[in-house]
Amino acid sequence: MMSNIKIPYIDLKMQYLPIHNEIMDAISNCLNNGSFILRGPLQELESKLSDYLGVSHVIGLNSGTDALFLSLKALNIGAGDEVITVSHTFVATISAIVHCGAKPVLVDILEDGNIDVSLIEKNITKNTKAIIPVHMNGKACDMESIMEISRNYGISIIEDAAQAFGGSYGVKKLGSYGVTGCFSLHPMKQLSVPGDGGFVATSDDAIAERIRVLGNHGQQDKNTILEFGYNSRLDSLHAAVALVKLKYLDQYIARRREIARIYCYMLKNCKQVILPKISKNDTVSSFVIKVDDRDKLLSHLNNCGIECFSHWRTPNHLQNGLNLDNFKLNQTEKLSNTVISLPCYPEISNKEVKEVSNEILNYYYP
């Protein structure tokens, strides 16, 4: 843990201060109405998220991890099945596959951290039942090519859009291409709640119903249990907070893009730094640079009171406890040795963004 942090990686309390009264009113309404589980705020949030994403159904769940897990379960994916995804992701993407009893098949990534689509078909077998593309750092995967593979092979697509809510590919929102789109409401996300939360988006009526049943103990209604299910419900208090923050989502994303533009402008002539290519549809959930001397620069920034991180410096397939070391993923391993995530959250000031940039410049050009 860093001491004397001058510029934090994220300042969670700062997002709540401007909307504090709205948040407290929403929470008070829940408390006064006794609306806690599967009540009005959740139903309203699900409806508004459906409209925003252009899908028929949104189901609020306990977490983005459960969104992935229950999507796989709803597709009856289990023992003997294979699911193609990447190692360069939070471990939840892979653990959801393993907890279903299926086998994760990990393929390498491109320079932007997203799945290398050219490698997908080479890894398809008769046991392949799904592909999980991960929209890393809010940047869209090549969904046109991925959906073509899906159609050609009859393989389901589950989008891991935990880092990409609000992003687009073509004319559609991310998370609306696959049979399901899986989202997180973790405090670090673009749309967040004060705790864990997540949701699934889908336009498949049968899949939506199955996920609702699975997430509510297998109950179709109070008197009908269809199967053994799970306890995964987004509570009304969190839904009420998300409803307030949803009003500001586009503003939050626009600010993240503005921060990215400042970083790119400030660092454009620093040849030691490889900047991300930001498109107009990216949500910039993280602003990630690549440098050859990652650990030295990271130490310099931390010593200056600037909190930065190197996410997933040990890729999942090299984690000793996961038994995935049969995969050789050169680009994934290369990327894990070079990436630094800089502070990038809507409430950071332009002055602070420039200060971070200047410290990087000072490191390379003292």
Nearest of 112, 72, 123 to residue 88 by alpha carbon? 112
pLDDT classification of 203: cutoffs 50, 70, 90 = very high
Instruction: List, in sequence order, the alpha helices (H) in 54-179.
Output: 64-74, 92-99, 143-153
Instruction: List, in sequence order, the alpha helices (H) in 176-269.
Output: 205-215, 236-246, 249-267
pLDDT classification of 39: cutoffs 50, 70, 90 = confident
In a domain, 14, yes or no: no
With contact defined as beta carbons under 8 Å apart, do 133 and 120 qualify? Answer: no
In a domain, 285, yes or no: yes
Q: Are residues 85 and 231 in the same domain?
A: yes
The total domain count for the chain is 2
pLDDT classification of 332: cutoffs 50, 70, 90 = very high
Which residue, chain included where needed, has tokens 């690549």? Answer: 290
Share of the chain above pLDDT 70, in %: 99
pLDDT classification of 3: cutoffs 50, 70, 90 = low
- Judge whether residue 176 has pLDDT over 90: yes
Tally of CA atoms within 13 A in the half-sphere of 192 that contains its CB: 18
Question: If you compute the radius of gyration of the chain from its CA atoms, what whole number of angstroms results?
Answer: 21
Nearest of 118, 89, 350, 65 to residue 232 by alpha carbon? 65
In a domain, 159, yes or no: yes
In a domain, 336, yes or no: yes
Convert the pLDDT of each residue in 278-330 to its tens digit: 999 999 999 999 999 999 999 999 999 999 999 888 999 999 999 999 999 99
With contact defined as beta carbons under 8 Å apart, do 56 and 202 qualify? Answer: yes
Which residue, chain included where needed, has tokens 């995530």? Answer: 341
Name the pTM for this structure: 0.96
Give the mean pLDDT of 338-348: 97
Convert the pLDDT of each residue in 66-100 to its tens digit: 999 999 999 999 999 999 999 999 999 999 999 99
Q: Are residues 233 and 266 in the same domain?
A: no
Domain boundary residue, one of 246, 262, 278 = 246
Nearest of 140, 212, 136 to residue 172 by alpha carbon? 140
| 238: containing domain | 20-107+114-246
Share of the chain above pLDDT 90, in %: 95
Convert the pLDDT of each residue in 243-269 to its tens digit: 999 999 999 999 999 999 999 999 999
Q: What are phi and psi of 168, to 5 degrees?
A: -135, 160
pLDDT classification of 35: cutoffs 50, 70, 90 = confident
In a domain, 2, yes or no: no
Give the mean pLDDT of 56-64: 98
Which value, to the nearest 10 degrees, does the dihedral of the CA atoms of residues 273, 278, 284, 288 take? -20
Q: Are residues 302 and 205 in the same domain?
A: no
Q: Are residues 164 and 208 in the same domain?
A: yes
Task: Provide the residue type at 50 as one letter.
Answer: S
Domain boundary residue, one of 221, 246, 271 = 246
Convert the pLDDT of each residue in 128-159 to its tens digit: 999 999 999 999 999 999 999 999 999 999 99
Please list, residue by residue across 63-86, b when 16 or more beta carbons sit within 10 angstroms of its beta carbon and e when fewer do. bbbbbbbbbbbbbebeeebbbbbb
In a domain, 12, yes or no: no
Q: Are residues 206 and 322 in the same domain?
A: no
Q: Are residues 36 and 146 in the same domain?
A: yes
- Please state, rounded to an integer, the average pLDDT across all residues of the chain: 96
Q: Please give the Cα distance from 285 to 266 (Å, whole number).
A: 19
Instruction: List, in sequence order, the alpha helices (H) in 17-79.
Output: 20-33, 40-53, 64-74
With contact defined as beta carbons under 8 Å apart, do 263 and 355 qualify? Answer: no
Nearest of 172, 224, 228, 230 to residue 203 by alpha carbon? 172
- Judge whether residue 23 has pLDDT over 60: yes
Q: Are residues 160 and 46 in the same domain?
A: yes
What's the pLDDT score for residue 207? 98
Q: Are residues 236 and 120 in the same domain?
A: yes
- Judge whether residue 44 has pLDDT over 60: yes
What CATH number has the domain bearing residue 299? 3.90.1150.10
Q: Please give the Cα distance from 64 to 181 (Å, whole number).
A: 10
Q: Please give the Cα distance from 266 to 263 (Å, whole number).
A: 5
In a domain, 239, yes or no: yes
- Judge whether residue 363 has pLDDT over 60: yes
pLDDT classification of 36: cutoffs 50, 70, 90 = confident
- CA angle (48, 50, 55) in 5-degree steps: 160
**What is the pairing mode between strands 219-221 and 224-225?**
antiparallel
What CATH number has the domain bearing residue 42? 3.40.640.10
What's the pLDDT score for residue 2? 53
Which residue, chain included where needed, has tokens 């990216």? Answer: 282
What's the pLDDT score for residue 4? 84
The number of beta carbons lying within 10 Å of the beta carbon of residue 125 is 9
Domain boundary residue, one of 195, 223, 246 = 246
With contact defined as beta carbons under 8 Å apart, do 240 and 26 qualify? Answer: yes
In a domain, 1, yes or no: no
Q: Please give the Cα distance from 61 to 232 (Å, whole number).
A: 5
- CA angle (11, 16, 21) in 5-degree steps: 160
Q: What are phi and psi of 61, to 5 degrees?
A: -130, 175
Q: Are residues 209 and 310 in the same domain?
A: no
Q: Are residues 231 and 328 in the same domain?
A: no
- Judge whether residue 1 has pLDDT over 60: no
